[in-house]
Structure 1
Amino acid sequence: MLYSRVIPERCIACGLCQLKAPTLFDYDADGVAFFKPDQNQGQVPIDNPRDQIAFKSAYTACPTGAIVRQSTPFSS
């Protein structure tokens, strides 16, 4: 399984994640990106193959490494 979240302090709101994976990433009122499926908690897996491809594109495009991933859910 693949889990993700965005580290807000690293996000520069460049827009690449939302452009590459609009179903997975969005921006809050302050312009900081977050992982949409679970409001940036890192608890919901990315299990749809199409979303996995889009995620990998967004993950590799992020210039600051704000998007993080792991194979287990993130601790709350």
Structure 2
Amino acid sequence: MRRDVRYGKDTCIACGTCGVIAPEVFEYDESGFSQSVLDNNEGTQAVPEEVAEDVEEAYEACPSGSIKLNDTPFKPKTPVSN
């Protein structure tokens, strides 16, 4: 099954759980919050099968619910205009 992942930086508490469970997919950005490295946190690239179980485990273990999974690619993020 296809799974796409995006990380909600606005709810991340930087606990590091996702990076411990699935280091191939999650790492900290320059602000200290986690993000998906698959596609720069856009949620448009399918999670590779060899790490899909780890991503599911990280999703279930995330204390802030910041990991978002989808069976289809996420819609592109809309830039905020001032």
TM category, shorter: over 0.9
SS of residue matched to 2:10: helix
Secondary structure at 1:37 match in 2: coil
Structure 1 residue runs of 4 or more that deviate by more than 3 Å after TM superposition: none
Within 2, Cα distance between the matches of 1:28 and 1:6? 11
Which residue in 2 is equivalent to 1:27?
28
What is aligned with 1:52? 52
Look up the equivalent residue of 2:72 and give its one-letter code.
T
Shift of 1:57: 1.1
Identity value in percent:
35
Q: Which structure's relative contact order is higher, taking Cα pairs within 8 Å and 6+ residues apart? A: 1
Name the count of aligned residue pairs.
75
Q: Which runs of 5+ in 2 are unaligned?
A: 77-82
Aligned equivalents of 2:7, 2:36: Cα separation in 1: 6
Whose helix fraction is larger, Structure 1's or Structure 2's? 1
Deviation at 1:13, TM superposition (A): 0.3
The alignment's TM-score, normalised by the length of structure 1, stands at 0.95
The alignment partner of 2:6 has SS state of strand
Say if 2:5 is the partner of 1:4: yes
1:29 is displaced (CA, Å) by 1.2
Distance 2:48 2:15 in 1: 26
CA RMSD of aligned residues (A): 0.7
